[in-house]
Amino acid sequence: MPTSLQNRFQLLRELGTGSQGKVWLAHDSKTQREVVLRVGAVGDIAAVGLKHAGLVPLLECTRFDEQSALVYKYEQGSRLSEQHFSIALAVDLVIDLLDALAVLHEAGLTHGHVTAHNILLDTQQKPRLLDIGTGRGLAADDVHAVGALFYMILTGQTAAPGANQPRPELDAALDQLLMSALQPRPPAAAALRDALRNWRGDSTPMAEGAPGTLEFLLRRMRHTSDFPALSQAIGAINKINEGDAERLQVLSGVILNDFSLVNKLLRLVNSASYGQFGGTISTISRAIVILGFDAIRNLAITLLLFEHMHNKAHAAQLRDAVLQAFFGGLLARQIALECGARDAEESLICGMFHHLGRLLTVYYFPEEQREITRRIQSGMSEESAAIAVLGMSWDELGIGVARHWLFPERIVNAMRPLPDGMMREPASTLERLRVYANLSARLVPLVGAAPVKLNEPVRLFGTATGLDFRGMQQVMKAAGAALMEQLGAIGVDAHHSVFLQTLLRGEGAEQSADVMDDLVLTSATQTAGDAAAVLSAGVQDITQALVSNFALNDVLRMILETMYRGIGFERVLLCTRDAKKPMILARFGFGNDVNNVIPRFQMDTTQKGDVFQVTLERNLDVLIDDIDAPSIAARVPQWYRQQVAAATFMLFPIKVGDRVLGFFYGDKTVPGSITVGSNELNLLKTLRNQAVLAIRTKQSGS
């Protein structure tokens, strides 16, 4: 075949060969986009332009060199693999397929070959039907094919004539719907779709307290006092665009809104587990620079979860669930490190969130959890018991909430259980994360078990990870040591934990009592005497940054953050001169409502006599105790009163050579509430001087 067709389609590579000819990836010079060409196929013109989210569009039917051809939109994704799906995910997938088929059938068309090979899973794991417009036969054949596919993804087996209920936990209503699709005269696609939606609970509200679908469980969690706040905090972190040039600023700001989270995160990054980075890290901004954005984001989310879950009336069971989940994350991280993976830090959150469904159930649905435990003790599997009580498995609940919290698909994918059988060596980052998380989940229940129990994980995951029996033992030992070290930062009171005592017995019974005594958590409350310590640590942190190949904005953020945390300002800002106008503008900062204040904080440098102008002209470090005090009220400019109006603030000018470039600003709402001793004031001046040094260094080209 020539390399181009009709001087329009440049053939890039062959994608496959079907019963109706070859399939090519091609570049369409007319539309300047990549398309899929099915050469030799005859299509129905009625399918051209048919639009639905579940259909890969047929763009045109054409001919060249006496051959017919179909032109399809090129879509990224992967083919549906013949794997074992959970019930909820299988139902979701089938509903999407039936919805797409209903549109085809309404247009008088059929698909004709609904198989796993002809279904593309897009980047959101939504199914898209390939090869529309080439079908022959009856609409009933499509529905029957979907029924067979449904059976296959639930069981991993082909539906034989007279097939029985595919899974014992399938309720009678869903079983009847599935079997109706396999009958010689199945219902119409739209009717079966609507029936499955109704079964899922889309149109019929469920009674309070009854087991239900994800949305029902989410509604119950939203009615608690803390779930909305937890969702907002985690969602805010996950919303940060990976391509955003200011994502360090955004992530630092989100974390700094939670004082307790800051303290725990800094304790964690300064633990021995992260000691390879060298030196003490005293600011979130520097932690992000040193450890990386993804590592700090994932640690922050991990700690947020524990912050919201460790203080509950049913604490004993919850404490063990929290410890097991975090141990699972540390296990996954250690597995990744042993395998030489570069995404080891992301494995931490994948391994921990593999337990999210169970953790949420223990915390938010304690009565249901007790019933699930009772059923497990009577012989039911964990999955069957959870489905019977909640209406979905722990895996499905965790995945659903992770999506609600806007987690990226690579993490959601790692939360999915793997099918039974030996795991092959992973071929991509997605597969690696999923293997590490699933192996971790297999190892957590083996804490305290006889060593022989490791033989099964070694058999199943040895090829995929390269870990033998000894390697698995080493991974569990290293993860246990990391857990012992990091419990203080997690915020979980580990006393009287059955899980931890069992883990410690494996590490050596003679050490257990001493370790348990060391695990008393310290208060996260900062006292007045801590201000100088925080400022001093920040000065040292910034000194280390200045002797490295630093980015100027990173250093300026570290200085702002140190001022913010050390003094306890409600808001801090870096303000610098505008290059084109006689203005000094706020550039970035931390604290209360800072994103709304920054665009309003605009100082006109042509105005004379106000407190800002005098401070800059005389290069003075100033504390305004009360903007309404008679001695100063007339000097406070109107723009400040109208746009900011904090009652008390401090200014530290930034002067390089003979030119004042701007200033650091920190404020509080209550008059007279900024208290700074002589030692703290000297440290604040040192921080400002470090900013001057950083600017000079960059101006000199160093």
pLDDT along the chain (702 residues), means of 10: 77 81 90 91 89 93 85 88 67 91 92 91 84 88 93 79 62 83 90 84 40 71 82 86 72 86 84 64 88 86 78 65 89 93 85 92 86 88 86 90 88 89 86 93 92 92 93 92 76 69 65 41 45 91 88 93 94 94 94 92 91 93 94 94 92 93 96 92 95 92 68
Position 17 scores a pLDDT of 79
CA nearest neighbour of 369 among 353, 379, 378, 357: 357
393 in a structural domain = no
pTM for the model stands at 0.61
Together in a domain, 581 and 668: yes
Together in a domain, 31 and 146: no
Whether the CB-CB separation of 215 and 201 falls below 8 Å is answered with: yes
What is the longest distance spanned by two Cα atoms in the chain? 93
CATH number of the CATH domain containing 48? 3.30.200.20
Together in a domain, 539 and 677: yes
Tokens of 448: 């305290």
Cα–Cα distance for residue pair 37/31, rounded to 1 Å: 14
CA nearest neighbour of 74 among 97, 58, 96: 58
Q: Identify the residue whose tokens are 């989310």.
A: 301
615 in a structural domain = yes
In DSSP terms, 667 is beta-bridged to: 571, 649
Together in a domain, 575 and 686: yes
Together in a domain, 562 and 594: yes
What element of type H or E holds 41?
Answer: none
| Domains: count for the chain | 3
Residue where a domain terminates, one of 72, 99, 118: 72
Residue where a domain terminates, one of 200, 235, 269: 200
Whether the CB-CB separation of 240 and 250 falls below 8 Å is answered with: yes
Position 566 scores a pLDDT of 93
Return the sign of the alpha-carbon dihedral for residues 103, 105, 107, 110: positive
Together in a domain, 667 and 598: yes
663 in a structural domain = yes
Together in a domain, 65 and 82: no
Position 352 scores a pLDDT of 92
Residue where a domain terminates, one of 200, 233, 248: 200
Tokens of 373: 């435990």
237 in a structural domain = no
CA of 244: how far to CAs of 239, 240, 241, 254, 281, in Å?
Answer: 11, 7, 5, 15, 24
343 in a structural domain = no
Give percent helix, percent strand, percent coil of the chain, each to the nearest 5.
Answer: 55, 15, 35
Position 536 scores a pLDDT of 93
Together in a domain, 195 and 59: no
Domain limits at 88? 78-200
First to last CA, the chain: 58
φ, ψ of residue 479 in degrees (nearest 5): -65, -35
Together in a domain, 628 and 672: yes
Position 459 scores a pLDDT of 93
Cα–Cα distance for residue pair 268/303, rounded to 1 Å: 10
Together in a domain, 588 and 616: yes
Together in a domain, 20 and 60: yes
Distance of CA 606 to the CA centre of its chain: 47
CATH number of the CATH domain containing 566? 3.30.450.40
Tokens of 67: 């051959």
CATH number of the CATH domain containing 167? 1.10.510.10
Position 316 scores a pLDDT of 67
42 in a structural domain = yes
Together in a domain, 188 and 84: yes
187 in a structural domain = yes
220 in a structural domain = no
Task: Supply the DSSP string of 595-624, one letter for each residue.
Answer: HHHGGG-EEETT--SSHHHHHHHHT--EEE
